[in-house]
Amino acid sequence: MASHSPPPTAGIAFIDFEASGLGPQSWPIEVGWSLDDGVTESFLISPAPDWPMTAWDGKAERLHGITPRMLADLGLDAAATCERLDAALAGRTVYSDAPDWDSFWMLRLYQAARRRCAIKLEDFARAMPPLTPDQKAKLLQQADRLAPRRHRAAEDALHLRMIHRLAVEGVRGG
């Protein structure tokens, strides 16, 4: 495997989606991102008319705490969500720790909005410098203290940003 250097931190972002479940009919319910400068944003997504409620998983709801009622009351529609994503992430390299799932939900979102998605998600592992298992464990512990994962989109995107920041600072300082 070829070694690689992590990308520079300017112009990158970290993204996370929460979803109705993990099945093939699942759909996005929340999206969040954290930019290289620390700006972090998220919002709920109201279900598109063709997204089936049969894809709603009660286990997933217990994990993230988002209810269908919250989506109906507070969610943005697919078009508004895509506009915000495009405005925040256009031209950036966007990393996800689950790029296959997050790309699937982002595609569903853009299809519901009848828009073309220009955002390509990269695997978070590609943003990281090589680390030993001990370095990785210490890094995750530190990131968990500074920006814990909560199974909510903004917090989880911020957690990825923190892991990346700590790793890059460790490489520069080490």
pLDDT recorded at residue 1 = 38
- C-alpha distances (whole Å) from 174 to each of 117, 140, 168 are 39, 17, 10
Bridge partners for 93 per DSSP: 12
What is the mean pLDDT of the segment spanning 153-160?
A: 95
Average pLDDT of the residues in 57-76: 96
Q: Are 106 and 26 in contact (CB under 8 A)?
A: no
28-35 and 12-19 strand pairing: antiparallel
Structure confidence by residue, pLDDT tens digits, 73-90: 999 999 999 999 999 999
In 10 A of CB 12, how many CB atoms? 20
Identify the pLDDT of residue 2. 40
Q: What is the pLDDT of residue 173?
A: 53
Give 24-62 pLDDT, tens digit per residue.
999 999 999 999 998 999 999 999 999 999 999 999 999
Using DSSP, state whether 125 is helix, strand or coil: helix
Q: What CATH number has the domain spanning 12-173?
A: 3.30.420.10
What pLDDT, on the 0 to 100 scale, is given for residue 171? 57
According to the model, what pLDDT value does residue 12 have? Answer: 96
Listed by start position, the domains of the chain span 12-173
Q: What is the mean pLDDT of the chain?
A: 91
pLDDT at residue number 63: 92
Please determine, for residue 172, whether its predicted confidence score (pLDDT) is greater than 70: no
Measure the N-to-C terminal CA separation of the chain; round to a whole number of Å: 23
Is the pLDDT at 99 greater than 50, yes or no? Answer: yes
Averaged pLDDT for residues 102-108: 98
Q: What is the pLDDT of residue 10?
A: 57
Residue 33's pLDDT is 98
Residue 34: phi and psi, rounded to 5, are -135, 125
Predicted TM-score (pTM) of the model is 0.89
Task: State yes or no: pLDDT of 9 exceeds 60.
Answer: no
